Amino acid sequence: DYIINWCPRCQTALSDLEVEYQDAQGHLYHLKYAFKDGDGFLVIATTRPETMLGDTAVAVNPKDERYMKFKGKTLILPIVNREIPLIEDGYVDTSFGTGALKVTPAHDPNDFELGRRHNLPSVNVMAPNGTMNAEAGQTYEGLDRFECRKKLVQDLKDAGVLLKIEDLNHSVGHCYRCKTVVEPYLSKQWFVKAKPLAEPAMEAVRNGSIKIVPKFWENTYFEWMENIRDWCISRQIWWGHQIPAWTCKACSEIQVVRETPEKCSACSSTDLEQETDVLDTWFSSALWPFSTLGWPEKTETLKKFYPTTVLCTGFDILFFWVARMIMMGIKFMDDVPFRHVYIHALIRDAEGQKMSKTKGNVIDPLEVMEQYGTDALRFTLAAFAAQGRDIKLDEDRIDGYRNFCNKLWNASRFVLMNLEGYEGTCQLDEQADRSIADQWILSRLNNSTREVNQALEDFKFNDAALTVYKFIWNEYCDWYIEFSKSRLAVEGPEKKAAQNVLLHVLEASLKLLHPFMPFITEEIWQKLPKNGD
């Protein structure tokens, strides 16, 4: 048995990362725990008085002079009237509350560890559905935990052991699926020992085998991994991969194997029962980089595509998924699953607020694409994708980049309409005499191409997008095309040189822009004089 996060509504275990914490207004209840010998009492403070029904000790710090005279004494648990010991443990913070801590091993993770150190019994006073069970006593059995809290507080008050109630703003864990308040709960579950997996996964980032972009997310990664706890991988839900474990009903031997066993490996009994729990979704997902490629067989596909080059993902699943893929990849493939992890931004509304249906500020991408075009939306997101900064999505900016699409279309149309008499291709004519303007735009094209390629290599998509934008709009369209109009009006070598450079730069610009605006660039590309394929 182990203490886990439990959702009473979903009735399943949750990992630490599946618990969402929200600030809530609660209360701090100060209670009197009397000594058995009648020599006074200790004051205990708790935010969850219903769990006191499962208390099995009170702990104080051995260096706390206030409690040295009470060493070895026994207390009487209020309402229940159960005798519980006063124990000493360095874990207790002398500056927090009264310095005396109620110990409930079955309903608090820290108390569970404390209880194990002192061999305390664990009294579970709740049923899986969040109601109080028989261990809570006849008065409270069957009550919902929060109804029990109300009744118990009144009973404590009537008994004269409730000293005071203070308002308290604290953080309360909720189930990420149904938002029910999560209960620390003693339960039998399947775990993976995480630290041996975490060490090589951290080393892979330290030595550069994996690079996380933006780099500051590495600090978050290390913080999580250095404080990793054993991973509860069993879930009591219908959907998921059933845990491949079989228990022998004859001798209780447990077998974890790939194929359904015909008999018990210990006693040869054929009376076997498979585990009904399923694997945590993130456990199954952690195997994705290689399980989808034929593993455990050594397929050609696995050899070719593992590891991948880049994983693009959100920061919210850096530990849920990314870290676990790294751990599993190193464990089962002896290599990292990917070389780069690009953490993309969170898209917010124009005011920087997180989008939600309740706020009514959700921007539907389908509606945006219908109004402004897919390319305009894609380019906007790329132009806003600065590392380490969320995107404030303003429709005015999308409209602005729709104008950019129009600018490109009109410029391309102008170039193609002025190819009369031109028999060349998009390739640059190295023999032609070039004007200063030609040399300038070609120089700017080369510089812009270098800058875009470097920005893409560095995952600086906003820099790449804006470099292309400025080059096409400001330098190619507004300057070079305008300058070339007079040259195109006069037949001769000057016109042919201008046509060649205009066409070459247009083709190169389409290549630079294609990752951001694939649709309009493809449409224009198909209209260019072909260089072959």
Say if residue 216 is in the same domain as residue 159.
Answer: no
pLDDT-derived band at 532 (thresholds 50, 70, 90) equals very low
Asked, for residue 151, whether it belongs to a domain, the answer is: yes
Long-range contacts of 244-252 (CB under 8 A, 24+ apart): 244/274, 244/275, 245/190, 245/274, 245/275, 246/272, 246/273, 246/274, 246/275, 247/272, 247/273, 247/275, 248/272, 249/273
* Token reading at 494: 């000057």
Say if residue 172 is in the same domain as residue 307.
Answer: no
Q: Mind listing the pLDDT tens digit for each residue in 28-76?
A: 999 999 999 998 999 999 999 999 999 999 999 999 999 999 999 999 9
Among residues 186, 215, 240, which one ends one of the domains?
A: 186
pLDDT of residue 500: 92
List the beta bridge partners of residue 187.
Answer: 2
Say if residue 428 is in the same domain as residue 521.
Answer: yes
With H, G, I as helix, E, B as strand and everything else as coil, classify residue 227.
Answer: coil
Domain limits for position 133: 2-186
Domain of 458, CATH number, reads 1.10.730.10
Say if residue 33 is in the same domain as residue 155.
Answer: yes
Q: Mind listing the pLDDT tens digit for each residue in 376-426?
A: 999 999 998 887 778 788 888 899 999 999 999 999 999 999 988 787 778
Among residues 344, 374, 398, which one ends one of the domains?
A: 344
Say if residue 272 is in the same domain as residue 389.
Answer: no
Say if residue 259 is in the same domain as residue 338.
Answer: yes
Number of Cα atoms under 13 Å in the Cβ half of residue 105? 18
pLDDT of residue 433: 79
Rounded distance between C-alpha atoms, residue 125 and residue 152, angstroms? 13
- In this predicted structure, the answer to whether residue 533 has a pLDDT above a threshold of 50 is no
Q: Mind listing the pLDDT tens digit for each residue in 430-476?
A: 777 789 999 999 999 999 999 999 999 999 999 999 999 999 999 99
Contacts of 531 (CB under 8 A, 6+ apart): 425, 426, 427
Among residues 120, 151, 186, which one ends one of the domains?
A: 186
Say if residue 312 is in the same domain as residue 272.
Answer: yes
Total H helices, total E strands in the chain: 16, 22
pLDDT of residue 531: 53
CB 318 within 8 A of CB 220: yes
Strands (E), 160-317: 162-175, 183-187, 191-192, 211-213, 231-232, 234-235, 245-248, 254-256, 272-274, 278-279, 308-314
* Token reading at 107: 């309903």
Say if residue 21 is in the same domain as residue 147.
Answer: yes
Rounded distance between C-alpha atoms, residue 146 and residue 369, angstroms? 48
Asked, for residue 17, whether it belongs to a domain, the answer is: yes
Say if residue 208 is in the same domain as residue 98.
Answer: no
* Token reading at 1: 């048995």
CB 342 within 8 A of CB 310: yes
Determine the residue type at 455: A
pTM passes above 0.95: no
Q: Which residue has the tokens 């399943």?
A: 12
pLDDT of residue 512: 97
Say if residue 178 is in the same domain as residue 200.
Answer: no
Domain count, the chain: 3
Question: Which comes out higher in pLDDT, residue 341 or 496?
Answer: 341
Number of Cα atoms under 13 Å in the Cβ half of residue 131? 9
Domain of 160, CATH number, reads 3.90.740.10
Asked, for residue 349, whether it belongs to a domain, the answer is: no
Say if residue 199 is in the same domain as residue 258.
Answer: yes
- In this predicted structure, the answer to whether residue 339 has a pLDDT above a threshold of 50 is yes
Say if residue 171 is in the same domain as residue 240.
Answer: no
